Amino acid sequence: MLKRFALILIFYLPLIAFAQDKDIDLANEYYNNGEYEKAIALYGNIVKEKQFVFTVHKNYLDALLKMEKFEETDKYLKRQMRNFPAESLFQVDYGVFLIMRGKKEESEKHFLAYIEIVKKDDAQIRYAARNFINANLYDYAEVLYLAGRKNGHEKFTYELASLYAMAGKTDMMITEYLDILKDDEEQLEYIENILQARMREEEDFAKIEPVLFKFIQKYPDKIVYNEMLVWFYVQMKNFSKAFFQAKAVDKRKKLEGNGIYDIGLLALENKDYENAIKVFEFLVEKYKDESVYVMSRRQLVKAKEESVKNTFPVDLEKIKSLVKDYQQIIGELGLVDYTAEAARSMALLQAFYLSNKDTAIQVFEKIINTPTVRKDFTDQVKLDLGDIYLLKNEPWEATLLYSQVEKRQKEKDLGHLAKLKNAKLSYYKGEFELAKENLDVLKLATTREIANDAMQLSLLIGDNIALDTTEAALQEYASIDLLVFQGQYETALEKYKIMQKKFSYHPIVDEILWAKANIYVKLGKFEQAIDELIKIIGEYNDDIWADDANYLIAKIYDENLKNKDKAMEYYQNQLTKYQGSMYSVEARKRYRQLRGDNIN
């Protein structure tokens, strides 16, 4: 008899399950269509079978609440808590239901009573906490994790850190992540990456510093926190403080200056020449017998060079001093692969600032003919040599060199740069169609700077050809642009002034104003530069140079004229009148610094 019953059961069970699946599908269809009464009727029968409760629970509960069937909801949830006493899903949903009904105190008692039941079981803690988090009840999830920490098996550090991130408790999140490093220094890079990913706003990111200092004071033997402070200051581009901390790390870990050297490179890359110089001066003085010395000495001269070249007007005596520094390096070490860059820099200074073009050509030819110098570097030098020939008004020699590199370095960044230089040469010569053809190809270059330069010049040519079929204005503008490249600033200014009157009706006038402003900056005539830039903002506010002009005015007042109030005025304009500008982030940072906000 029993055997027969078992056979019948085996036969009918699949049919029962199939029928139940059809009911679930139909109930879900009613639910999705908003026919909640019909859905509730079906769900009510389905949940009588325990194995189907979890399948339909979410929809059934939502339908009951939408139809305000609160008594039925209460009975349903209590029944499931009896049926599944360890299941946190129903416990949490019941507490949420009580909150919805305005029974906050009753809900709190319910949650705390449930927490007491599960707090000794780490697995149940983890599962219950997830359900609290899904219900946005972060405080109860925190209580669970902290209770679990007392069990002594797990710290729940990662879970708490993630929870605090969701809850907006930034300081507590940072504390949890930093606490990981106390026992596992190998997690440094992970912690740095996760903090950077979780805190997008500068104000939040700045909260790392005070928490880090607390850990440094509490665990003075843990150098990992000093390492992280170096990383933090680098992210904030505060290279002075990064350098200070890096020295402490360098001393304790005996890094022989290598970590500090990286700080110098980053400062140089971010145009913080003052701190780059301090870093490399320190390394040159302290590590004369280490491998970092030669590199630091070269970078020190480079940092000084960039500082001189970006301080207007350029001090030619300082340029001469830099040339001597480079000559000394090459004289001591010879012209080899790792000093070739110093020789190149020296030659460029000779050509572009001291008008010693023939001397520069001799240096470049010597680099090209030195067999120990890398071929990629000699190709870069060939491009420089082409530039010198362009300075000498020998465009045929220039294009010959550009074309050699373009062919040899095809589809590489250096090849793209060679193509850009050839395109500019075509532009200077008035061959606009040929120039634009090459520039349009370069818009897809992998190097953003090359792509941007190509796009900018292509737009200039395209816009002006479309509006002026004679190309007279563009022809004249291009010829003056060549004078600017050749450093004939005063001549270029006079020609721009004549052209501005001659083509006063022409849309190329904003380009002339922008070019004049930049020449005035190079000559150290900052008030005249501002006059030109204000004309752009006033008369051509809808054109492409408007936000650039506003930002340049702000920088001139900030860095050159030291007029804090005017600088703040134009930085604020950048944020309000030119929203979405590429300068917005830096403008906001400088505005806050000038205002006196505590920003690293």
pLDDT in tens, 84-121: 988 999 999 999 999 999 999 999 999 999 999 999 99
The pair of structure tokens assigned to 91 is 């416990």
Residue 12 has pLDDT above 50, yes or no: no
Q: Which residue has the tokens 């299941």?
A: 87
User: 3-class secondary structure for 358-384?
Assistant: HHHHHHHHHHHCCCCCCHHHHHHHHHH
Does residue 378 carry a pLDDT above 50? Answer: yes
Look-up of token digits 């027969």: 4
d(Cα 64, Cα 39) in Å, to the nearest integer? 9
Give the largest CA-CA distance in the chain: 115
Angle between helices 584-595 and 546-555 (to 10 degrees): 30
Do 125 and 147 form a contact (C-beta atoms < 8 A)?
yes
The rounded distance, in Å, linking the Cα atoms of 589 and 592 is: 5
Tell me what the mean pLDDT of segment 577-582 comes to: 91
Q: Which residue is associated with the tokens 């009727």? A: 41
Query: How do residues 260-315 score in pLDDT, each as one tens digit?
Result: 999 999 999 999 999 999 999 999 999 999 999 999 999 999 999 999 999 999 99
Q: Cα–Cα distances in Å, from 247 out to 114, 251, 594?
A: 53, 6, 29
- Write out the two tokens for 340: 């070739």
* The residue to which tokens 């680098």 are assigned: 234
What whole-number percentage of the chain has pLDDT above 90? 89
- What DSSP line would sit under 468-527, residue for residue? -TT-HHHHHHHHHHHHHHTT-HHHHHHHHHHHHHHTTTSTTHHHHHHHHHHHHHHTT-HH
SS3 labels along 428-450:
HCCCHHHHHHHHHHHCCCCCHHH
The domains of the chain, with CATH numbers, are 499-595 (1.25.40.10)
Residue 443: Cβ within 10 Å count = 13
Token output for 490: 């005063």
pLDDT value at 557 more than 70: yes
For position 18, what pLDDT does the model report? 45
Amino acid at 347: A
Report the C-alpha gap between 90 and 94 in whole angstroms: 6
Cis check: omega of the bond before 220, within 30 degrees of 0: no
Write the DSSP assignment of 58-121 as a string of letters: HHHHHHHHHTT-HHHHHHHHHHHHHH-TT-HHHHHHHHHHHHHTT-HHHHHHHHHHHHHHHTT-
Check pLDDT > 80 for residue 171. Answer: yes
Taking alpha carbons only, the member of 72, 65, 62, 76 closest to residue 31 is 62
Which residue bears the tokens 């949650």?
Answer: 111
Q: What pTM, to 2 d.p., does this model score?
A: 0.86
First to last CA, the chain: 85
Both tokens assigned to 196 = 């950077």
Return the minimum-mean-pLDDT range out of 21-25, 59-63, 168-172, 355-359: 21-25
Question: Model confidence at 2, in pLDDT bands (50, 70, 90)?
Answer: very low
Q: Which two tokens stand for residue 71?
A: 């008594």
Query: From start to end of 165-282, where are the E strands?
Result: none
CA–CA gap between residue 456 and residue 439 (Å, rounded): 9
